Amino acid sequence: MAHAVTLEALRVLEAIEQFGSFAAAADALYKVPSALTYTMKKLEEDLGVSLFDRSRQRAVLTPAGRLVLDKGRTILDAAARLEDSVKQLESGWEPKLRIARDTALPELPLLTVVGAFLAQNRPVQISLSEEAIAGAWDALQDDRVDLVVGASGDLPKGRFHTRPIGELEFVFTVAPTHPLALTEGPITAAQLREHPSIVVADSTKILPQRDSGLFESRQVLRVDNMMSKVQALCLGLGVGYLPRHFVDHEVMSGRLVIRECELPRQNHMSYIAWRKDDPGRGLSWFIEALAAQDWQLLKAE
Amino acid sequence: MAHAVTLEALRVLEAIEQFGSFAAAADALYKVPSALTYTMKKLEEDLGVSLFDRSRQRAVLTPAGRLVLDKGRTILDAAARLEDSVKQLESGWEPKLRIARDTALPELPLLTVVGAFLAQNRPVQISLSEEAIAGAWDALQDDRVDLVVGASGDLPKGRFHTRPIGELEFVFTVAPTHPLALTEGPITAAQLREHPSIVVADSTKILPQRDSGLFESRQVLRVDNMMSKVQALCLGLGVGYLPRHFVDHEVMSGRLVIRECELPRQNHMSYIAWRKDDPGRGLSWFIEALAAQDWQLLKAE
DNA sequence: GGTAGTATTTCAAAAATATTGAAGGCCAAT
DNA sequence: ATTGGCCTTCAATATTTTTGAAATACTACC
């Protein structure tokens, strides 16, 4: 057979893995188990590999099966997106719009904009997700999202369009109960090393951990989003820089104090970014709306 | 119908576009034209769009058809690679290995290594291509190649493994007949502006042109590889920096002269780079062989 | 350790889908 | 106008997929 794999076979494979058995998958697909057996047998035969270990009752994926499943998923994804693109071509509205927010940005402004969009009752499904550090770029890169809010850092421009939305300002904070809350003068690098620091880890799965807090601390606690970092700081588990807009409220309520630190953290420009495909009407609307939104950052330009 | 597209339909679509007509595609696919009509009709029906404009004798793609074709191609590609990965899983040898060389690197060392590989008679098809500037990274990114030799510049590390192979040294050259060949002292920025410069353009399709020669010249001639640049320089069409190893031979034969220039061009480190998938035995072999090869660069480290 | 229950496969029959070839229409070039 | 090439339609045919019943094998539970 010239070409082994079919989307149908990949779908069946995915369902089997997802539902845990041929029988369950057959139910979900409104088919009969033997139909799945047939499809999988054929795929195995055509690929010349066995995809399942059938030595026991419950069929379990072989490494080859896992490989085909993993790569197959991205193919199925791409196929689904193809269908979406076609729909977009008709109305101009994309059926789905996936938006990621960098964890350093406040959630409220985004939700406000999303609310305004939903009120228009467009045929566009919105998905929101949160990314940290380079994760936002990666998500865009890998076509896991269509629009990123708050991406920053060394931007892999070129394949993306970007638009600055403001500058993130970081302040060094500790809990009022923390030893470093009471010391005199700016906190030194030496003092820092004496205390754990809280760091938001890169949400990228692929990257070797690259951290946002850069100082070398005796111990580092990694969390995967900014709210966790705020919590950890408030509890006095460690010290670290926070975006200013996160801090104000906590300082007011006495849960955190701002200190000066010898190792300053650069401000960085925050962007919205999207892929250089032709944007649907939904994406275009969001770009404008998000750019006009107040993100509680230092003014852009 | 739940899911419209099938790989088979995409293949047919691609063949029709490639061979220019239903009839020719049918021939190529060893089918009869009406079979293709049937497949395409079904795809159109399922997608709810017409893919061909049939108002005239020869069916021609509609914009929707073009869209499906373009996106479909990458899906077909991915499917083909899936099958290759499965084969790789058995023997360890990947069926195909696509290697890109940055145009700033000499071709000979690569060909030497490739020769040594071919002599081993492995079941691996090698494809070579040439990229300029960021094109190499993009090719890797987009999965158009598996291994890049000579990538440099701000490297989007993280999702790639890299290994330095040496430092590229650039020297400013002009033809002996060129007016700037005879001036006194280092060439100034002002003098530069008086003459066209030859620039290797980014081979990336997506990026807005980003050039490797950075000075502002009155006029810029863009070429897409280093050999063209050498030719253009030898002909005295303009001036520009060249990697040293390209220059030696031309200087010996009197076709170029080296001048000093006020706007120096930084050396940059050259890398081999590959994706962080599990490498096949072919890729592993090449990584070692290429790293051990003498690239006529300044020594790495 | 037997047994009921569940999971998968096998197989032949039935259903659905794809392919074929002949016929027809239409365009374009001679 | 005529001819030849290109695409579609349609009914017949071939192929592929689905089904359900029976067979086999494993698990877990008494």
- Which of B178, B152, B182 is closest to B165 using CA atoms? B152
Q: Do B86 and A204 lie within an 8 Å CB cutoff?
A: no
Strand D bases within 7 angstroms of protein beta carbons: 4-11, 17-21, 25-27
CB A291 within 8 A of CB A272: yes
Q: What domains appear along chain B, each with residue ranges and CATH number?
A: 7-88 (1.10.10.10), 92-167+268-292 (3.40.190.10), 170-259 (3.40.190.290)
* pLDDT of the residue at B156: 66
Mean pLDDT, range B118-142, rounded to an integer: 86
CA B73 centroid distance within chain: 18
Q: Which residues in B lie closer than 8 A to residue A3 (C-beta atoms)?
A: 7-8, 11, 79, 83
Who wins on pLDDT, B38 or B143? Answer: B38
Query: What is the least distance, in Å, from the CA of A109 to any CA of chain B?
Result: 31
Quick one: A212 exposed, middle or buried, by C-beta within 10 A (0-12, 13-18, 19+)? buried
**Which range, of A74-88, A218-232, B5-19, averages the lowest pLDDT?**
A218-232
Q: What is the pLDDT of residues B217-226, one digit of tens each?
A: 557 777 778 8
Of the candidates A3, A158, A207, which has its C-beta nearest B7's C-beta? A3
CB A127 within 8 A of CB A138: no
* pLDDT of the residue at B246: 87
Q: Which amino acid is at A249?
A: H
Q: Which residues in B lie closer than 8 A to residue A76 (C-beta atoms)?
A: none
Q: What is the pLDDT of residues B74-117, one digit of tens each?
A: 999 999 999 999 998 888 999 889 999 999 998 899 999 998 99
* pLDDT of the residue at B20: 92
Task: Give the chain A residue nearest B275 (alpha carbons).
Answer: A206
Q: What is the pLDDT of residues A59-68, one digit of tens each?
A: 889 989 999 9
Give CA–CA dist A213/A210, Å, rounded: 9
Q: Do A83 and B204 lie within an 8 Å CB cutoff?
A: no
Give CA–CA dist B52/B44, Å, rounded: 9
Q: What is the pLDDT of residues A193-205, one digit of tens each?
A: 888 888 887 765 4
* pLDDT of the residue at A227: 87
Residues 6+ apart with CB under 8 A from A119: none
Task: Give the chain B residue nearest A50 (alpha carbons).
Answer: B86
Looking at the DSSP bridge assignments, the partners of residue B220 are B197
The DSSP secondary structure of A166-188, one letter per residue, reads EEE-EEEEE-TTSGGGS-SSSBP
* pLDDT of the residue at A146: 95
Query: What is the least distance, in Å, from the CA of B290 to any CA of chain A?
Result: 24
Query: What is the least distance, in Å, from the CA of B77 to any CA of chain A?
Result: 10
Interface of B with A (CB under 8 A): 3-8, 11, 47-49, 63-64, 67-68, 71-72, 74-75, 78-79, 81-83, 85-86, 89-90, 134, 138, 141, 154, 156, 158-159, 204, 206-208, 210, 276
Q: pLDDT-derived band of residue A1, with 50, 70 and 90 as boundaries? A: low
Place of tokens 């995915």: A14
* pLDDT of the residue at B74: 95
